[in-house]
Amino acid sequence: MKKRHHPVVRITHWINVVALTIMVGSGLRIFNAYPAFARRGETFCCYPFERKPIPASLTFGGWLAGARNWHFAMMWVLVVNGLVYLGFVYTHGEWRDLVPRRGVVRDAWEMVRFYVTARKDHPRQGKHNALQRMVYFSFPILGALAVITGIAIWKPVQLAFLTHLLGGYVWARYWHFVVMLLLVVLTFGHIFMVFAVDPYSMVSMVTGTYKEQWSPEERNARPFVHLLPAHQPAGAGTTPSSTPPPAA
Amino acid sequence: MASGGALGAAILAACDSMGPRSAKPLLEFAERENEVLERSLFSHRSMDVPRGGALAAGQRFPAYFISDRVPVWDEATRGVWRLAVGGMVRTPLSLTLADLSSLPRVGYRLDHFCVEGWTAVATRTGVRLADLARLAGVQAGAHYVDFESFDENYHESWDIESAMHPQTLVVYAQDGHYLNSAWGAPARVYSPVKLGYKNTKYLTRIMFLPRRTGGYWSDKGYEWYGGV
């Protein structure tokens, strides 16, 4: 049976789970050493929690030096793993399932309507629905932005042209933080939807095994609704779809 | 199962932990390799130029030292303060503040990059370290420089390339005034190519050496290279 995800996709996915957790955790510990953005002697416009530290339980590294050591070591794992993933999906063709197509915004809106029960039946989808396409396409972009903004604050003098492009050190550090927040929010959304809509996808991301009757489209699955397979929607035939069954 | 293990590791990884001790050799390997990359990125042509609208920190410039109280040079017991320049040099120097002030003077408006993540702008005035090195006749085998201080045992060593950068100064004045004790009087080294903790204040001696000698924060776990 064909694997839903190629081993390279699965392996890079789980390496990313560990790498991102350590990058965010150590990054937050680094941030806590000066949990603010203002230059000394100035104020900063755009962060409501200036000088309030992140809770220690969300940080990793124990202290600033430890956090920096982890951050500057794990960044290589993140980048190499990311490049392997991107190189693979490009050369192997999986990018076709991930790149947004014409009408993706409309399709994504239909997915939202379905999830909030404004629409009865699951929109037709390929491997991923439109919401997933948008999120999975955003992840590598946000990852690249996190790396670029990180490099800008790592070398604000030796790579001053890059730091300058981002508005200078103070703003580059802010954008690095904002990109991290976006990554974290989308990741939590992803994890929630995996558990709430398609827990079978966890199996497919480990062993690659997936059965069509498990798919959210077959189950007409919403968060926490129709989690078990072989559900027949009330009064319908077999596959729920937006096209009506042939006339009797 | 693999996913559960990864998730478990990921969860344990946070929660304010320092990570597994077995990771230490890997972290040290990463620091060494990063230093190779950082040295290749380093150029004497990279200059720090603070953003146009940035305000100088002025009195809000932080005062950091490791002694219990602000280190103050006690002339009564220690005599007149002098900056010694020695090690692998042809002519060791011993300069008073008046000697330093009479050498060719350079001033730059510069960013200060603290390892904690904040920056501050200040005008730093002093003698270019490269000029002092030339005056003392630094010898070919001196690949490192150690900056010693009278703030307890605080010292930090640098690669000589960073020490010879045109913006690396022995600073005796900040924002137009001679340094006060809070900010490292009588003299400190300052360069915008190094993080703040590498820029030793309360200087006593600058030594040109064939091997690196660590440093106060470097020995505790912060990166030795500490370059920006």
Strand order from edge to edge, sheet including B155-159: B93-95, B83-87, B203-209, B144-149, B155-159
Do residues B9 and A15 lie in contact, with contact meaning Cβ atoms separated by under 8 Å? no
Do residues B198 and B62 lie in contact, with contact meaning Cβ atoms separated by under 8 Å? no
DSSP-derived 3-state class of residue A85: helix
What band does B175 get if pLDDT is binned at 50, 70 and 90? very high
List pLDDT tens digits, range A42-65.
999 999 999 999 999 999 999 999
Residue A180 lies in a domain: yes
Q: What is the mean pLDDT of residues B154-164?
A: 98
What band does A125 get if pLDDT is binned at 50, 70 and 90? confident
What residues of chain B, 105 to 124, have a C-beta less than 8 Å from chain A?
111, 113-121
What band does A222 get if pLDDT is binned at 50, 70 and 90? very high
CA–CA min distance A76, chain B (Å): 9
DSSP-derived 3-state class of residue A222: strand
Interchain proximity A206–B17, CB inside 8 Å: no
Q: Which of A17-21, A138-142, A212-216 has the lowest mean pLDDT?
A: A212-216
> Cβ contacts (< 8 Å) between B54 and chain A: which residues?
39, 42, 168
List pLDDT tens digits, range A10-21.
999 999 999 999
What band does B7 get if pLDDT is binned at 50, 70 and 90? low
What band does B17 get if pLDDT is binned at 50, 70 and 90? confident
CA–CA min distance B16, chain A (Å): 5
In three-state form (DSSP H/G/I as H, E/B as E, the rest C), the secondary structure along chain B is CHHHHHHHHHHHHCCCCCCCHHHHHHHHHHHHHHHHHHHHHCCCCCCCCCCCCCCECHHHCCCCCCCCCCCCCCHHHHCCCCEEEEECECCCEEECHHHHHHCCCEEEEEEEECCCCCEEEEEEEEEEHHHHHHHHCECCCCCEEEEEECCCCCEEEEEHHHHCCCCCEEEEEECCEECCHHHCCCCEEECCCECHHHCCCCEEEEEEECCCCCEHHHHHCCCCCCEC
**Per-residue burial over A149-166, b = 16 or more CB atoms within 10 Å of its CB, e = otherwise:** bbbbbbbbbbbbebbbeb
Measure CA of the first residue to CA of the last residue in chain B; give whole Å. Answer: 42
Residues in a beta bridge with B159:
B144
Residues in a beta bridge with B112:
B120
List pLDDT tens digits, range A171-198.
999 999 999 999 999 999 999 999 999 9
CATH number of B22-220: 3.90.420.10
CA–CA min distance B96, chain A (Å): 32
Do residues B132 and B93 lie in contact, with contact meaning Cβ atoms separated by under 8 Å? yes
What band does B201 get if pLDDT is binned at 50, 70 and 90? very high
**Pairing between β-strand B188-190 and β-strand B169-174 as defined by DSSP bridges:** antiparallel
List pLDDT tens digits, range B128-153.
999 999 999 999 999 999 999 999 99
Residues in a beta bridge with B157:
B146
Q: What is the pLDDT of residue B33?
A: 98
How many CB atoms lie under 10 A from the CB of residue A12?
20
In this complex, the residue of B2, B11, B119 whose CB is nearest that of residue A39 is B119
ipTM associated with this complex? 0.93
Residue A105 lies in a domain: yes
Residue A194 lies in a domain: yes
Residue in the structure block whose two tokens are 């694997």: A3
The tokens for B33 are 């390799």
Q: Which residue of B has its CA nearest to A22?
A: B13
CATH number of the domain to which A150 belongs? 1.20.950.20
**What is the Cα–Cα distance from B125 to A165, expressed in whole angstroms?**
29
What torsion, rounded to 10 degrees, do the Cα atoms B94, B97, B103, B106 define? 130
In this complex, the residue of A59, A65, A158 whose CB is nearest that of residue B221 is A65
Q: What is the pLDDT of residue A2?
A: 82
**Pairing between β-strand B203-209 and β-strand B83-87 as defined by DSSP bridges:** parallel
Number of domains in chain A: 1
Q: Is the pLDDT of residue A161 over 80?
A: yes
**What is the Cα–Cα distance from B146 to B158, expressed in whole angstroms?**
6
Residue A61 lies in a domain: yes
- Residue (of B164, B177, B110, B97) closest to B132 by Cα position: B164
Residue A224 lies in a domain: no
Residues in a beta bridge with B199:
none
Q: Which residue of B has its CA nearest to A29?
A: B16
**What is the Cα–Cα distance from A144 to A34, expressed in whole angstroms?**
24
Do residues A133 and A99 lie in contact, with contact meaning Cβ atoms separated by under 8 Å? yes
* Domain carrying residue A151: 7-219
Report the largest interatomic distance among the alpha carbons of chain A, rounded to a whole angstrom.
78
Do residues B127 and B95 lie in contact, with contact meaning Cβ atoms separated by under 8 Å? no
What residues of chain B, 15 to 74, have a C-beta less than 8 Å from chain A?
15-19, 23, 26-27, 29-31, 34, 38, 41-43, 46-49, 51, 54-58, 60-62
> Cβ contacts (< 8 Å) between A69 and chain B: which residues?
27, 30-31, 221, 223
CA–CA min distance B86, chain A (Å): 29
Residue A240 lies in a domain: no
Q: Where are the domains of chain B?
A: 22-220
In this complex, the residue of A62, A160, A202 whose CB is nearest that of residue B18 is A62
CA–CA min distance B175, chain A (Å): 14
Interchain proximity A73–B30, CB inside 8 Å: yes
Interchain proximity B14–A58, CB inside 8 Å: yes
List pLDDT tens digits, range B202-211.
999 999 999 9
What band does A235 get if pLDDT is binned at 50, 70 and 90? very low
The tokens for B219 are 């020995």
What band does A229 get if pLDDT is binned at 50, 70 and 90? confident
